[in-house]
A and B are shown apart, each in its own frame.
Chain A
Amino acid sequence: MSKVIPMAEAARLVAPGSTLGLGGMTLYRRPVAFVRALLDIGVTDLTLISLTCGFESDLLVGAGQVRRLRTCYFGLEAFGLAPMFTQRATAGEVEVIEETEASLAFGLRATLAGVGFLPSLAWLGTDLPRVRPDVKTVQDPYSGRAYTAFPALSVDVMVIHAPVADHAGNAQVYGNLALDRELGLAADRVIITAERVVDRLSGPLELAGVGVHYVVEVPDGAWPTSCYPDYPLDGNELLDYVEACGSGQFDAYLERFLARPAGETRVARRGDLAEGKD
């Protein structure tokens, strides 16, 4: 029994107001094609949860489809600030739930451990607790020491892009695991989008299909972010995006982005470079 479904069907699994987890990290292995499908259907009021948010999240924020964010970093690394996040968050148009690596990691592990929270040394003495009054402290029952008590996190749908998956939802990723495993295990439903879907992968693999519900085949599914080892990130596209937003042209950029036919690509694969293709 194959878990493969079409992209449009997968996108409709994300209900308005739900919490959507995005796999990968900053500019690496982001589920951009899936985000494109969400932009096409215009589902709104989303809470995004990701270790770090980048280009894919900025598109959704710019399109007005995001109500709130849980992430420890929202930016484009060397390519600068994420322009639409910076604009909307500065204007107070999107709610930022301040997270850090520890609050996300311990929170997800609490969910996976079946407990309400996990204690950590993080945040003590900083201003983080001031903007997160929902996060409490707890006393070590043995030593009396105070810890931050990171609450368990819930995720409705998690989407991960992988270089290869099989019909059972097993997938191989080759790096930048970020929080893919933990978000995937914690989520109610998990979608793997993959450059290619094969009959059967053999292990050991990074992601086991046991926890995966749906698979979508989409070549160039991470473009313009990278998908190691298949293709690097498309720096020129990211620069085009930043420059478009910088001159108030996000809407025009989005229109062009969505108008690009599915499957048309500007991904420069390793072989293409050697053969002198674009």
Chain B
Amino acid sequence: MVIATDYTTDDLICVCISRQVEDGELLAQGIATPLVAAGYLLAQRTHAPRVAFASAIGNALCQEGAPLGLARAEDLWLGRALTLISFADAACDMIPTMHPKEFFRPAQVDAYGNYNNVVIGDHQHPRLRLPGCGGIADVTAFHSRAYLYVPRHSRAVFVEEVDFVSGLGVPSPLRPGDQPGPRLLISDLGIFDYASGRMRLRSHHPGVTLEKIQKKTGFALEPAADAHQTPPPTVEEVRLLRNEIDPLGIRELERMGGGQRRRRMREIIRLEQAG
């Protein structure tokens, strides 16, 4: 196993996600989360060959992964669908008791892991209306295999107090109870958990200092006693991501903003049409 020296932050995030996957489990793949899709597929190609995917794109159950797509995303999943599942079947019959592992991307998250995907500001008079929380609020009180990921770690995301709680963190004075909270949070700066009752740093990514992480976090952050550097990807993991899982580089879109992202998307669409 050769450690890579040539890898991007996106590659590292995918690898961190991949490392959380256990062989044989059911993975829920949401919409517009290519870093997660790539991480899942990497896990399947390496240590977790027997995972299955419940894909929101296609509303399908799949055992075979497909390379990431943009305009053709649906084709790729539906071409491998074992069974089609209506969303009512999934929401009523599967999710409440099967608890598939899932990674959510919060717009805001606080020190306890409470998170928001509904609205910035007041619900009646928002500063910014967000798309909505999908199914997060449906499982958050009891789901113990929920993870968070934040592609661009910033004070805008890591706030003292979220404006709306659609996802529950670990129990706290703000939200007492017995909810499990997120297992881990993976960002482009490090990996964090809530085992002490508050977000703490488990590992900082190579080249990232604790000072930088604290500067980009809007609340006091403690490192775990055994905090260490995130192990980098292997050469094989990077090769799989770049050559087979995501040759179009769709996983890179999550950390791009506005105009750059759209320009890159046009390029990807052109490549998809040509290929």
Residues on A lying within 8 angstroms of B by beta carbon are: 25-26, 28, 51-52, 71-75, 77-82, 85-86, 89-90, 92, 96, 98-102, 104-106, 108-109, 120-128, 130-131, 174-182, 206, 226, 228-229, 232-236, 239, 242-243, 268, 273
Contacts and interface: CB of A to CB of B under 8 A. Distances in A.
A238 to B, nearest CB: 9
A242 B135 contact: no
Given A78-B265, A79-B265, A235-B70, A105 B91 contact: yes
B231 interface: no
Contact of A77 (B32, B92, B124): B32
A163 B133 CA distance: 30
B160 interface: no
B243 interface: no
B134 A175 contact: no
Contacts of A82: 131
Given A101-B138, A104-B91, A180-B86, 9 more contacts: A100-B137, A101-B134, A102-B91, A120-B92, A176-B58, A226-B71, A228-B78, A233-B74, A239-B262
Interface string B9-47: 000000000000000000000011010000000000000
Contacts of B260: none
A126 B129 contact: no
B115 to A, nearest CB: 10
A177 B59 contact: yes
Interface residues of B, number: 63
Interface of B: 31-32, 34, 56-60, 70-72, 74-75, 77-78, 81, 84-88, 90-92, 95-96, 118, 123-142, 164-168, 175, 177, 179, 250, 253, 261-262, 265-266, 269, 273
B74 A226 contact: yes
Which of B59, B70, B86, B132: most chain A CB closer than 10 A?
B132
Contacts of B34: 78
B92 A102 contact: yes
B58 A175 contact: yes
B269 A127 contact: no
Nearest to B92: A105
Nearest to A122: B138
B74 A175 contact: yes
A102 B87 contact: no
Contacts of B127: 90
Nearest to A126: B137
B134 A228 contact: no
A121 B142 contact: yes
A81 B75 CA distance: 23
Contacts of B134: 52, 72-73, 100-101
A180 B127 CA distance: 33
B175 A125 contact: yes
Given A178-B87, A179-B87, A180-B86, A128 B81 contact: no
B88 A182 contact: yes
A177 B135 contact: no
A229 B72 CA distance: 10
A85 B132 CA distance: 11
A106 B91 contact: yes
A120 to B, nearest CB: 7
B81 to A, nearest CB: 7
A72 B140 contact: no
B77 to A, nearest CB: 8
B118 A98 contact: yes
B86 to A, nearest CB: 4
Contacts of B138: 100-102, 120-123
A106 B88 CA distance: 7
Nearest to A107: B88
Nearest to B254: A78
Given A126-B140, A126-B166, A126-B168, A71 B132 contact: yes
Contacts of A176: 57-59, 74, 78
23 contacts: A25-B87, A52-B134, A73-B31, A73-B134, A75-B32, A75-B132, A90-B126, A98-B123, A100-B133, A101-B134, A101-B138, A102-B95, A109-B92, A122-B139, A126-B167, A128-B166, A178-B86, A180-B86, A181-B86, A181-B88, A232-B74, A232-B75, A233-B74
Which of B128, B130, B137: most chain A CB closer than 10 A?
B137
